[in-house]
Amino acid sequence: MSTLFNLSGKKAIITGSSRGIGKATAIRLAEHGAKVVITSRKIDACEEVASEINSTYGSDTAIALACNISDKEQLAKLHKDSVAWCGEIDILVCNAAINPYFGPSLNIPDSAFEKIMRSNVQSNFWLTNMVIPSMIKSKDGSIIIISSIAGLHGSSLLGAYAISKAADSQLARNISVEHGPNGVRANCISPGLIKTDFARALWENESILKSQTNKSALKRIGMPDEIAGAVVFLASQAGSFTTGQNIVIDGGEGETA
């Protein structure tokens, strides 16, 4: 395949790829030729995704590795085992995130705030720092962090999560400036409402779904695959001049009056 989107020979880690946006992303990266590391806390679910990919795109396209992103040692092991399997990483998709608290920021327990920051920001900081040295050596690398439109506006109910997602876009900008001269690119994607387990409480309730989707130009919820295409773009030659950006994919939520 000799297109702008060709990823053959590339190796990717996608955190949180056992389902949702991460799974769709891993499948599309594999479809475009990359080797993919499927990872989340539950190895069984990762193995299912890896075997689905291997049976479609060829054995040894995917491997399953368990890792809780909030644990630095587990991240280091994920990186080490990934490199042992496929060689140095060219594409890192920091996709996994958590939101254990929904409500006014006045009431959030310190433990919930710290958990959100550790899993959604510090874990990405750790993992990006693990892959960047080899990207610098090869003068090529693409880091993609899945942020959220929650990080673009004030929020009365998702405060800490929104802060973590805003921090993720700053992390991508920092990496782009610090390592751009060495060929490393870093970008965020900020999805709007996407039909995954993560947002189930929002789309399973008809009236919440309607009020959410009414805000968007397309008047519908997004699907995981509608985020995966942008990841392929950012990971590939097609995105070679794109760095430090936060690409909003929300069905046009900001476009309606």
Ligand X SMILES: NC(=O)c1ccc[n+]([C@@H]2O[C@H](COP(=O)([O-])OP(=O)(O)OC[C@H]3O[C@@H](n4cnc5c(N)ncnc54)[C@H](OP(=O)(O)O)[C@@H]3O)[C@@H](O)[C@H]2O)c1
- Catalytic residue positions, numbered: 161
Does residue 124 interact with ligand X by CB under 6 A?
no
Q: Which residues pair with 146 in a beta bridge?
A: 189
Give CA torsion, residues 206, 191, 253, 103, to 10 deg: 60
Which one of residues 82, 95, 169, 243 is an interface residue with ligand X (CB under 6 A)? 95
Does residue 20 interact with ligand X by CB under 6 A?
yes
Q: What single string gives the DSSP state of each residue in 7-70?
A: -TT-EEEEET-SSHHHHHHHHHHHHTT-EEEEEES-HHHHHHHHHHHHHHH-TTSEEEEE--TT
Q: Which stretch binds ligand X (CB under 6 A): 36-44, 81-89, 124-132, 229-237?
A: 36-44
Which among 164, 163, 227 is positioned nearest to 191, based on CA atoms?
227
Question: Residue 18 or residue 169: which is nearer to ligand X going by CB?
Answer: 18
Which one of residues 10, 11, 19, 32 is an interface residue with ligand X (CB under 6 A)? 19
Does residue 53 interact with ligand X by CB under 6 A?
no
Does residue 166 interact with ligand X by CB under 6 A?
no
Question: Residue 41 or residue 173: which is nearer to ligand X going by CB?
Answer: 41
> What is the phi/psi pair of residue 235, to 5°?
-80, -20
Residues engaged in binding ligand X (CB under 6 A): 15-22, 40-42, 45, 67-70, 95-98, 119, 146, 148, 191, 193-194, 196-199
